[in-house]
Amino acid sequence: MNRTDSDLSPNAVAIIPARYASTRLPGKPLLEIAGQPMILRVLERALAAPNISRAIVATDDRRILETVRAAGFEAVITRSDHASGSDRLAEVAATLDEADVIVNIQGDEPLISPLTIENVVDELANADEALIVTTYEAITRASDVLSPDVVKVVFDKAGRALYFSRSPIPYPRDGVRSYGSLEAALENDPSLLARFHKHTGLYAYRRSFLLEYSGWPQSALERAESLEQLRALERGVTIKVIEAQTPSIGVDTLEDLQRVRSIFKAVMSDM
């Protein structure tokens, strides 16, 4: 189920971390979406990107491993004690000597655009200074600005990440002064939403850098925000941020799952 096209440059391999345990949705990767387990829907999206040569599920659960392999895709068992997603990624990447680029695709993003995946690989190939490329989406709801579960990113005019935070950044000081609180400012001046950008969990790494980066100790900012990409920023690593081609939905709750199922149902009924 993987490509052997020798003309792909750089050689990009997608790794999809998938854990069975989930506080809100146990067994999440195996939940059904339009007749297929969610993890297979993610694999299909990954392999639809023309510059992805292989897609491998990295899991700590044999049920996920067997489901993926039975469908003809690649999966490997990884250690269960990894402290972060990049550590699990690096364990698999260390075995992929042929890969130049490792793409981290979240196992709960069955709607991720193949074009977005393609774009992050192309951007990394063309941005000589960048060691990581990641993506953002526009924020359209005030609740997302206020939510610590939605990570915000700010970047410079060249698209280089300046900071990632669970807090509302950049902070609209004048608007808050005018209306008394951030919540009131967002409610009364919806144009403020355009200043905020939601960071999404798609990453492309230069493989050599990923292997080095995974060995670095956690940084102070990383621990404070619980955001591992800050470990790279604190060491001066250039992270390029590009806009996702289309919005995606990370499946974290039953409500998310129902939304995604409805979207797949509508798309398939139109085919």
Given this model, what pLDDT does residue 271 score?
A: 57
**How sure is the predictor about 8, in pLDDT bands with cuts at 50, 70 and 90?**
very low
Q: Are 252 and 108 in contact (CB under 8 A)?
A: yes
Nearest to 111 by CA among 241, 269, 257: 257
CB 120 within 8 A of CB 242: yes
Report yes or no on 269 lying in a domain: no
Query: By residue range, what is the domain housing residue 141?
Result: 12-256
pLDDT tens track for 182-235: 999 999 999 999 999 999 989 999 999 999 999 999 999 999 999 999 999 999
Instruction: Give the domain CATH number at 131.
Output: 3.90.550.10
Is the distance from CB of 238 to CB of 130 less than 8 angstroms? Answer: yes
Lowest mean pLDDT among 1-10, 44-53, 77-86, 225-234: 1-10
Percent of the chain with pLDDT over 70: 96
Q: How far apart are CA 165 and CA 225, in angstroms?
A: 7
Q: What is the pLDDT of residue 88?
A: 87
262 lies in a domain?
no
How many domains is the chain partitioned into structurally? 1
DSSP one-letter code for 25 = S
Residue 26 lies in a domain: yes
Asked if the structure places residue 264 within a domain, the reply is no
Indicate whether 56 belongs to any domain. yes
Measured distance CA(142)–CA(156) in Å, rounded: 23
The model carries a pTM of 0.91
Residue 1 lies in a domain: no
